[in-house]
């Protein structure tokens, strides 16, 4: 009877974790670039009661959480009309760097803007990485200015645009235009090893197995960039609400196992009186 109690308690613990994950998924249904998580269960070690001619007789001791993994399926792409908004249509992550610590992260959130120094940054000030020179050979911070203009042209920047392959084209006030830089993407052999770092960022890049160096979008199996757009959350709200009901019922059922086991134990105690 104590085994049933242990199994019921273990199930309550794990279903509570699943409820936490589902709640977080639903809370982020409108978060740009958010990837929903999924809980995977595994049975706990079985207790061997004995053996017979057919083999060992075992009773399971409950359930445990095997893993909680992010689901990196494509989210819908929504047009915003903002020229610094970029969405990845396909595989790959933007690489961003914290200018104060030089720590690198990846993200699917392309809600970028240009700071007062001309750098392309995230909403928290992380600088977007890629080829930072006009020759597209040097990795570094993407900056929008007239550096590298043909003939050392010093005219002011009048406008700029991004291509589907990440190239940044700058047009100067005198009509000169040139390729200033290129946003690159990074892909991983095991993206489920990435760890959420908050603010739509992922860390633990080395363990996830980065594929060589960041690569141009629309090449090497990477997706293309959709400019003036953002990738929305991939949370399936209807599916999450269905999972919520199922998990709630499973929680209630295992709570019933505990109360039933308790009642039987109480009856056994009363038999001795």
Report the chain's C-alpha Rg in angstroms: 27
Asked if residue 153 has pLDDT above 60, the reply is yes
DSSP string, 29-92: TT-TT---EEEEEEEPPPEEEEEETTEEEEE---EEEEEEEE--PPPPEEE---TTBEEEESS-
Q: 135 and 14, same structural domain? A: no
Same domain, 242 and 129: no
pLDDT digits (tens, 9 = 90+) for 90-143: 999 999 999 999 999 999 999 999 999 999 999 999 999 999 999 999 999 999
Is the pLDDT at 50 greater than 70? The verdict is no
Residues 211 and 181 in one domain: yes
Q: How many CB atoms lie within 10 A of CB 121?
A: 21
Shared domain for 54 and 86, answered yes or no, is no
How far, in Å, CA of 136 to CA of 241, rounded?
47
Statement: residue 58 has pLDDT above 80? no
pTM above 0.75, yes or no: yes
**Chain centre to alpha carbon of residue 65:** 19
Look at residue 252 and give its three-state secondary structure.
Answer: helix
Partners of 51 in the β-ladder: 56
- pLDDT at residue 178 above 70? yes
* Least confident stretch, 68-77, 200-209, 257-266: 257-266
99 and 227 assigned to the same domain: yes
Number of folded domains in the chain?
A: 2
46 shares a domain with 29: yes
237, pLDDT greater than 70: yes
List Cα–Cα distances, 196 to 16, 36, 104, 204, 226, in angstroms: 20, 11, 13, 9, 24
Looking at the fold, whether 246 and 155 belong to one and the same domain comes out as: no
What are the helix and strand counts (H, E) for the chain? 3, 20
Distance between CA atoms of 92 and 231, rounded to whole angstroms? 12
Structural domain range at position 39: 2-72+235-271
For residues 213 and 110, membership in a common domain is answered with yes
| pLDDT at position 157 | 97
Interacting residues of 170 by C-beta distance below 8 A, sequence separation 6+: 144, 145, 146, 149, 157, 159, 160, 177, 178, 179, 180
């Amino acid at each position: 009877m104590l085994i049933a109690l242990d199994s019921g308690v273990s199930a309550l613990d794990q279903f509570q974790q699943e409820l936490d994950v589902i709640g977080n998924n639903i809370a982020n249904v409108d978060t740009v670039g958010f990837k929903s998580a999924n809980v995977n269960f595994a049975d706990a070690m079985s207790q061997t009661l004995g053996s017979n001619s057919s083999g060992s007789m075992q009773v399971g001791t409950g359930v445990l959480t095997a893993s909680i993994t992010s689901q990196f399926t494509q989210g819908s792409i929504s047009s915003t009309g903002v020229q610094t908004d970029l969405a990845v249509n396909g595989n790959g992550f933007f690489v961003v760097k914290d200018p104060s610590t030089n720590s690198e992260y990846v993200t699917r959130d392309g809600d970028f803007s240009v700071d007062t120094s001309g750098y392309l940054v995230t909403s928290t000030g992380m600088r977007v990485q890629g080829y930072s020179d006009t020759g597209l050979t040097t990795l570094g911070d993407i900056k929008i200015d007239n550096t590298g203009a043909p003939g050392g042209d010093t005219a002011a920047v009048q406008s700029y645009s991004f291509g589907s392959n990440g190239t940044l084209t700058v047009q100067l006030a005198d009509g000169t235009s040139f390729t200033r830089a290129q946003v690159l993407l990074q892909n991983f052999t095991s993206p489920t090893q990435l760890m959420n770092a908050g603010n739509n960022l992922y860390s633990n890049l080395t363990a996830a197995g980065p594929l060589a160096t960041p690569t141009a979008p629309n090449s090497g199996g990477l997706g293309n960039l959709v400019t003036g757009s953002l990738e929305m959350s991939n949370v399936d709200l209807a599916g999450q609400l269905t999972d919520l009901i199922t998990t709630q019922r499973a929680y209630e059922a295992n709570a019933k196992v505990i109360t039933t086991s308790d009642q039987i134990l109480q009856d056994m105690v009363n038999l001795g009186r």
